[in-house]
Amino acid sequence: MTDLAVTLDVHKQIRQWQQEAGLPVVDLQQPRRSWAAMLTILLDARSADARTAALSISSILTGSTQRNPLQVLIPDSEDSVLLEQWLAFEPDVRFVRTVDEAVLGAQYLLVCPAGVVFGSHSVQAAVEAAQESGARLLRAVVDGVSGSLELWDTAGLGSAADLSAAEQGIRDDGGERWVSGASLGAYAAGRPAPKMFLRKGAAGRFDVHVVVKDLKDPAARRDYEQQIRQLESELARAKRHWWQEASSAAPAGGTARRPFGSVPLRAVRKGPRYLAARTALRLRRWTTG
Amino acid sequence: MDLTNTLAGSYDFSLPQLATALKLGPKAYEWALEDLADPARIDRGSGTQQLWHDNFVLAAQSLAQARRWLPLLSLSGKAHRVHLVLRDHPAAGPESGPPTVAQLRSGLMVAGSAAPAGYVAVTVSAGNWVDVHRAVAAALTHFQVGRPGSVVRGLRIGLTDPVHAAWAAGDPLARSLTPDMLEPEEHDIFPVDVLVAATAPEITSVRRPARIILPESGLADVDGWSTALPPVDVRSVSPRGFEPYPGSGIVQAVPAPDGGVAFDGVHGTAVLAPGEPVGAHTVAALRPHSYVDIAGLLSASDQRSASVVISNLAVAGIPMLAGPGSRALQLLGPDLAAAVTDFDAQDTPLRRESKSIDMRRLALDLFEPAARWARWVPNLAQPEPATVSVLLATRRADRVREAVRQIDRQSWPAVEIVLVLHGIELPDGELDRLRAECSRDLVVRTAGAEQVLGQVLNIGVAAASGELLAKMDDDDWYGRNHLRDLVQARRYSGADLVGSQVEFVYLEDLDILTRRPAEGERYCHHVAGGTMLISRQDLADLGGWRPVHRAVDRCLLQAVEAAGGSIYRGHGQNYVMHRYGDAPGHGGHTWAPEMETFLQNSSEQWDGFVLPPQIDAADISYRPPGRSRRLRSIFSAAEPELQTSFPARGEHS
């Protein structure tokens, strides 16, 4: 089997996992940026299987901050091979084997245990929560996931080794803040997404769905014209329906029908066949009794 | 008989406007004015002389003022209709609402309507003549949340001078007495138990009051119980509405030129007229402010009036800034004076609230009407505090000892502990050791493991002998004044069930203390199950605890509201919920949702096992295990141990 065939199989497998988990099935073909980013993400997949890690990765890479570099911390294994094949063409995803290999972002490092599924704006919401509370270490509990999300303010820290002693120091200074994962829109894979995730602050402003189409393309133009004609026909049908409803709702003895309200006039209006039938009926009643 | 319309109380109302709003008819422009503050009104009156009015209108600036004037209306006779008009009641608004009709407990009919001039009017009638005092007392209950009734527990207070109306604290049994009423016939009874007078009247009758209180003679007392300072009407002024996070700055309280008190900076300037009681509207206007600076008040010429205002503010729990050493503070007694001067503008909101709680607790001990009169006339007023039976149902033998100790430490003097062992047995000799260590009555009952929580609690209720029942949990932490504050809250709120909000939660796994947004003291629909206090009789009337295995607290709250009762939430600093690391399977009765629940809307957090100021850490023997290994930072923790794998959609239970 060729390398390309293997990769296609992996993509197919991961799409199936996404489907089973209720996540949007998307391919990861998004524009990326270089490693000189303000925020980097470190996914801790040391204790997770490939499926769990893949679900977290796909939720990260399809979120609003998809252009942030991602590091996947996973030891050499069959699972890591599968993930590496899946993400082989993603230039901003790299795999590390130990914590010390992790690269810190220029300002923030987001550590995420595998198994957490991110909402579209979770990363941005975490950054805003840290900024609003002034926390140097923002942590989020996600029920159903072992471990917690960690958003480190890396300013002043040189390497991951510095962080090993930093947690206690930040705790002692009161610089740590815990929030719920649901408040960031994050939840455990296999569990339902938070029912209501109110994006606050700047994250809410980006919640816009933009569709761009080129009207110079004849197919797109025909499509639009067809949609407009369909809307016009629906409008005309709605008007007819409204007129019929209004007419049937008018009172039987209303002013609009009064000229034709008397019995003789109604009989004349109904024609000679009606008159003949009525005459025959009356004659039959008269002869029988 | 030519009847007049009578206006009593505040005269700064527009009479034509009142007449139109109250629909008084064509004779509404002939008014008799009655000055409730005039001592001559009592001197010239007679207990046997009956006064008659067509319409009697009591116009007051506030509910507190109307309650203060209530005893003075006992000589006002009868009327066809009685109207209570309040200017500053919260219900008063610019929009006029449709009249509402309700049957009062006293059998009177009340028709209330909001008039457009910024006041509310309640009209009381009975189809015939109605006693003015009785009608106003009934109308006042119309505005009152919670149980109506005597605030001095049945003591009958008599007044010979309207200036002493504050000593009755709005009690509906208090009466004004004319000189002829002080001389009852030998076969009759004296109309009151205790008389408040400027000078001791000469009574020749053999029927005499049990005690005569002379307020002026108490000016030299500095132990806090001076008769010169009246009780505080706690149904009008109380800690209700305290704001833990004030939005505005410091207010200056200064003497007004006319002898009253001005609060500079409260929506411009708020002023209390001379003799006008501190009411709910004044307290509400001060609530958003961080502190009231009373330095100006302490330098006023009338130190006694200043002391009265400060005692009201202290009962309301309003933080004040003051230096020590003034006469006004000395009159409050050394403990309360120290609490009033203990505030610091640099305090954190948590510390500010805690100091306010300390101050209001001391002030309520001193100035709550029943407590103050019990001190002044110990043989007449009820001396014993209510006995509280604490229901402690437990399934954890290892927690029993600490839970019993925690209840034993409570500052409320009359406490009985009812321990119900739910499907467990204590080790040999443990019960004897508990009884030996505990200074309270300890009643022990057992319930089978097959019985549900509601049944277990009902077993405890059947064994309890206290007039009040409190439910406490074996795994949470309580301050020493938990029961005292609940009993006080029950008195001043008049609520049928009182408790606290779950504000503080210690998350053992995370090793942090979180605080949910504090909503202050208020009437509400929910309190924490481990903080409920209800009278034994009320619980029996509601059918006891519902015999279900969980949600018994919610069921009781629903039953109270369905029965027309009220629920009041006190401050939350006496209670810390313990969220175990291994919850929800730690074997208790406790409501144990997942951890995210406690982090949602967390307004404040503290690292480590920290307790709010109202709970003394020295009382707690618990030693936290530290942050769970699985929740340490990836950079601090060792390699993870557990394999994380999640079921596909639909497989999750």
State whether residue A181 sits within 8 Å of chain B by CB. yes
Which A positions 254-283 lie with beta carbon below 8 A of chain B? Answer: none
Count of pairs with CB atoms under 8 A, one residue in A, one in B: 105
Q: Tell me, what DSSP letter sits at residue B544? A: S
Residue B206 has pLDDT above 50, yes or no: yes
Categorize the per-residue pLDDT at A18 as very low, low, confident or very high, splitting at 50, 70 and 90. confident
Neighbours of B625 (CB within 10 A): 11
With beta carbons under 8 A apart, name residues in chain A contacting B606: 174
d(CA B648, CA A32): 30
pLDDT at B559: 95
Residue type, B495: A
Place of tokens 């009578």: B6
d(CA B373, CA B365): 11
Place of tokens 């649901």: A182
Residues on chain B bordering chain A, Cβ-to-Cβ distance under 8 angstroms: 510, 512, 514, 594-597, 599-600, 602, 605-608, 630-636, 639-649, 651-652
d(CA B331, CA B337): 8
Rounded to 5°, angle at Cα B646 from B640 and B650 = 165
Categorize the per-residue pLDDT at B118 as very low, low, confident or very high, splitting at 50, 70 and 90. low
Residue B479 or residue B87, greater confidence: B479
Place of tokens 């008799």: B32
With beta carbons under 8 A apart, name residues in chain A contacting B646: 21, 51-52, 55, 115, 144, 188-190
% residues pLDDT > 70 (chain B): 87
Tens digits of per-residue pLDDT, B243-279? 999 989 999 999 988 888 999 877 666 788 888 899 8
Place of tokens 């109604």: A266
Q: Is the dihedral of CA A83, A88, A90, A93 positive or negative?
A: positive
State whether residue A60 sits within 8 Å of chain B by CB. no
Say whether the peptide bond before residue B584 is cis (omega within 30 degrees of 0): yes
Categorize the per-residue pLDDT at B119 as very low, low, confident or very high, splitting at 50, 70 and 90. confident
d(CA B492, CA B237): 8
| Average pLDDT in chain B | 86
Distance from CA of B632 to the nearest CA of A (A): 7
Q: If DSSP states are collapsed to H, E and C, what string results for A220-285?
A: HHHHHHHHHHHHHHHHHHHHHHHHHHHHHCCCCCCHHHHHHCCHHHHHHHHCHHHHHHHHHHHHHH
Mean pLDDT of A132-140: 92
d(CA B610, CA B603): 15
pLDDT at B532: 97
Q: Which residue, among A12, A84, A51, A66, has the nearest Cα to A190 in the 3D structure?
A: A51
List, in sequence order, every residue forming a beta bridge with B143; answer none if it has no partner: none
Q: What is the pTM of this model?
A: 0.81
d(CA B305, CA B260): 9
Identify the three-state secondary structure at position B553. Answer: helix
Q: Which of A44, A52, A167 is the closest to B645 by Cβ?
A: A52
Residue type, A158: G
Burial string for B387-419 (b: 16+ CB within 10 Å, else e) reads bbbbbbbbbbeebbbebbebbbebebebbbbbb
Distance from CA of B502 to the nearest CA of A (A): 18
pLDDT at B456: 96
Residue B12 has pLDDT above 80, yes or no: no
CATH topology assigned to domain B388-631: Spore Coat Polysaccharide Biosynthesis Protein SpsA; Chain A (3.90.550)
pLDDT at B652: 40
Residue A232 or residue B40, greater confidence: A232
List, in sequence order, every residue forming a beta bridge with A187; answer none if it has no partner: A117
Which ranges in B368-472 belong to alpha helices (H)? 369-376, 397-408, 430-437, 453-463
Residue A254 has pLDDT above 50, yes or no: no
Q: B634 and A99 in contact by Cβ < 8 A?
A: yes
Place of tokens 């990363």: A123
Which pair of tokens denotes residue A33? 């940026």
Task: Give the list of residues 6+ apart from residue A143 with CB closer than 8 angstroms, or none.
Answer: A181, A188, A191, B594, B595, B596
Q: At residue B556, what are phi and psi to the nearest 5 degrees?
A: -70, -40
Q: How far is CA B217 from CA B198, B334, B387, in A?
A: 9, 19, 34
Q: At residue B460, what are phi and psi to the nearest 5 degrees?
A: -65, -40
d(CA B516, CA B392): 26
Which pair of tokens denotes residue A93? 């995803």
Distance from CA of A64 to the nearest CA of B (A): 23
Residue type, B622: Y
Residue type, A20: E
**Which of A148, A164, A173, A179 is most worth mutating to test chain B (most B CB atoms within 10 A of its CB)?**
A148
Tens digits of per-residue pLDDT, B164-193? 999 999 898 999 998 888 888 888 889 999
Q: How many residues does chain B have?
A: 653
Task: Give the list of residues 6+ apart from residue B257 with CB closer than 8 angstroms, or none.
Answer: none
Categorize the per-residue pLDDT at B394 as very low, low, confident or very high, splitting at 50, 70 and 90. very high
Mean pLDDT of B507-530: 92
Which ranges in B563-601 belong to alpha helices (H)? 596-599
Residue B334 has pLDDT above 70, yes or no: yes
With beta carbons under 8 A apart, name residues in chain A contacting B594: 143-144
Residue A43 or residue B589, greater confidence: A43
Distance from CA of A74 to the nearest CA of B (A): 12
Q: At residue B309, what are phi and psi to the nearest 5 degrees?
A: -60, -45
Residue B19 has pLDDT above 90, yes or no: no
Residue B224 in contact with residue B336, Cβ under 8 Å?
yes
d(CA A148, CA B631): 6
Residue B47 has pLDDT above 80, yes or no: no
Tens digits of per-residue pLDDT, B576-603? 999 887 554 445 555 567 888 889 888 8
List, in sequence order, every residue forming a beta bridge with B210; answer none if it has no partner: none
The domain ranges of chain B are: 5-143, 251-367, 388-631
Q: What is the enclosing helix (H) or strand (E) of A16?
A: helix A3-20
d(CA A62, CA B402): 52
Q: How far is CA B24 from CA A130, B7, B233, in A?
A: 64, 12, 32
Categorize the per-residue pLDDT at A251 as very low, low, confident or very high, splitting at 50, 70 and 90. very low
Q: How far is CA B557 from CA A32, A181, B390, in A?
A: 56, 31, 18
d(CA B158, CA B209): 9
β A70-73/A176-180 pair status: unpaired
pLDDT at B288: 92
Neighbours of A146 (CB within 10 A): 20
Lowest mean pLDDT, pick from B318-322, B356-360, B426-430, B499-503 = B426-430
Which A positions 182-221 lie with beta carbon below 8 A of chain B? Answer: 182-183, 188-191
Q: Tell me, what DSSP letter sits at residue B59? A: E
Residue B470 in contact with residue B390, Cβ under 8 Å?
yes
Residue A169 has pLDDT above 70, yes or no: yes
β A70-73/A39-44 pair status: parallel
Residue B70 in contact with residue B137, Cβ under 8 Å?
yes
Q: How many residues does chain A have?
A: 289
Distance from CA of B642 to the nearest CA of A (A): 6
pLDDT at B214: 94
